[in-house]
Amino acid sequence: MKPMRVGLLGLGTVGGGTVEVLRRNREEIARRAGREIVVVMASARDLAKARPVGVEGISLVADPAAIVSHPDIEIVVELIGGETRARELVMAAIASGKHVVTANKALLAKHGNELFAAAHAQGVMVAFEAAVAGGVPIIKAIREGLTANRIEWLAGIINGTCNYILSEMRDKGLPFDVVLAEAQRLGYAEADPSFDIDGIDAAHKLTILSAIAFGIPMQFDRACIEGIGKLTAADIKYAEGLGYRIKLLGISRRTPGGIELRVHPTLVPARRLIANVEGVMNAILVKGDAVGPTLYYGRGAGAEATASAVVADLVDVTRMATADPEHRVPHLAFQPDRLSAIPILPMEEVETACYLRLRALDRPGVLADVTRICADRGISIDAIFQKEAGEGEEQVDVVILTHRTREKDVNAAIRAIESLATIASPVIRIRLEELL
């Protein structure tokens, strides 16, 4: 059988890794796919820089549109990133009857509904394992491995940059800014790190995971997103003393009122496996009604880790290319005409336990005022910890752990607490999840 001919849009880190993995594991991949998979064309902004990547036998072009329109290309692999140009190229590839493999989480989170509808109408596939958690096969696990289950919730460490920063802050007691600078020096964080540390990257990935888990359209614009920029070494230390670790989690949960879709720093019990995922590693915990909790762990970025997922998608597309389009695995796990209209739950209606840290004047009656405010809003307190005032100190830290409470009630309590004359600074709130 003739080889499956592939065109790469982008020969950067992941593109070069994809060429290398396909070349190194050529025979093994062909045995699995049923035919050889060969990159025959690739585009790069700087052709001179691309040539040392190991592109012998590959036709190099500067314009990716030349690949999309080439009649011999059967699968287009989009690795250029961004939204506008990538969307144009992917839509053009679909319109030309070509299958698409992409690692572009932003493209899918914002335009996935349009892309999947176009692909379904054209009878081609859009595969995207590499868009979430690099080499961890979480898309296939949820879409196919857990098909028998009604997914109840998922929670993931899906941004390695943030996980590295939080791990270093906990291990070394350093402030956020110092660790961020070190992460930039080591290449774990970009010169402009906002995409990662503000939680946007994680929200793109969570949008994709929630769509597959619950059979809903992509709804990135409905996600609640909170980054790690305001976390302090003090909060990480207090959490550790209480038996918790702070992780930036993407959480999506099925509730009677709708689907929760939220990214934020979260206290997790230190005894949980996911709490012990350190450095740049990723991990996703998925709870199914039949299987219970399942954990998927691995490297979430890097040339060959991400290339592993790209090549896995190429093998899947090659296997399924001749199958009846109506009997392929659906893009979002559920048949396109059976997606659910269940809404995304507004963040104010979400229920979580909370960690609250107050900076209060060391005077009698302060805790009584705070606990009364919580009680008036139906907030049940699980524990209170007050740091002893040092010599000459007039202010002390007070840490409160609450039971599960609606977000809007906690917001109201925080506003009331901050209005007290005895509270010296804004209340720090970090949500807490037991992940049972």
Mean pLDDT of 287-294: 97
CA-nearest of 80, 68, 86, 73 to 6 is 73
- The answer on 116 and 147 residing in a single domain is no
- The answer on 288 and 145 residing in a single domain is yes
- The answer on 166 and 211 residing in a single domain is yes
229 neighbors 194 (Cβ within 8 angstroms): no
Average pLDDT across the chain, whole number: 94
DSSP of 416-428, one letter per residue? Answer: HHHTSTTB-SPPE
The percent of residues in the chain predicted with pLDDT above 90, rounded, is: 85
Residue ending a domain, among 240, 272, 299, is 299
Reply yes or no on whether the pLDDT at 240 is more than 70. Answer: yes
Q: Is position 416 within any domain? A: yes
Q: Is position 293 within any domain? A: yes
For residue 205, indicate whether it is catalytic. Answer: yes
- Quick one: pLDDT at residue 90? 98
- Quick one: pLDDT at residue 54? 65
Question: Quick one: pLDDT band at residue 320, thresholds 50, 70, 90?
Answer: confident
Q: Is position 422 within any domain? A: yes
Q: What is the number of alpha carbons within 13 Å of residue 141 lying toward its C-beta?
A: 23
Q: Is position 376 within any domain? A: yes
Mean pLDDT of 138-149: 96
- The answer on 331 and 220 residing in a single domain is no
333 neighbors 147 (Cβ within 8 angstroms): yes
- Quick one: pLDDT at residue 53? 58
Reply yes or no on whether the pLDDT at 51 is more than 60. Answer: no
Reply yes or no on whether the pLDDT at 317 is more than 90. Answer: yes
Q: Is position 343 within any domain? A: no
Reply yes or no on whether the pLDDT at 420 is more than 90. Answer: yes
Question: Quick one: pLDDT band at residue 331, thresholds 50, 70, 90?
Answer: confident
User: Which is the catalytic residue, given 98, 205, 247, 287?
Assistant: 205
Mean pLDDT of 80-90: 95
| CATH code for position 161 | 3.30.360.10
Reply yes or no on whether the pLDDT at 334 is more than 90. Answer: no
Range of the domain at 213: 138-299
- The answer on 46 and 126 residing in a single domain is yes
Residue identified by tokens 């919730």 is 153
- The answer on 215 and 193 residing in a single domain is yes
The percent of residues in the chain predicted with pLDDT above 70, rounded, is: 99
| Gap between the terminal Cα atoms of the chain | 49
Question: Quick one: pLDDT band at residue 329, thresholds 50, 70, 90?
Answer: confident
Q: Is position 126 within any domain? A: yes
pLDDT in tens, 225-235: 999 999 999 99
- The answer on 370 and 273 residing in a single domain is no
- The answer on 191 and 308 residing in a single domain is no
Q: How many folded domains does the chain comprise?
A: 3
- Quick one: pLDDT at residue 326? 74
- The answer on 146 and 125 residing in a single domain is no
Q: Which residues of 416-434 are buried (b: 16+ CB within 10 A; e: fewer)?
A: bbeeeebbeeebbbbbbbe
| CATH code for position 29 | 3.40.50.720
Reply yes or no on whether the pLDDT at 242 is more than 90. Answer: yes
Residue identified by tokens 């898309």 is 139
| CATH code for position 357 | 3.30.70.260
- The answer on 221 and 207 residing in a single domain is yes
Q: Is position 89 within any domain? A: yes
- Quick one: pLDDT at residue 45? 83
- Quick one: pLDDT at residue 368? 94
Reply yes or no on whether the pLDDT at 392 is more than 80. Answer: no
Which residues make Cβ contacts (< 8 Å) with residue 175, sequence separation at least 6? 169, 232, 233
- The answer on 129 and 68 residing in a single domain is yes
Which alpha helices (H) appear in 25-104, and where do they start and end? 26-33, 47-50, 65-68, 84-95
- The answer on 414 and 402 residing in a single domain is yes
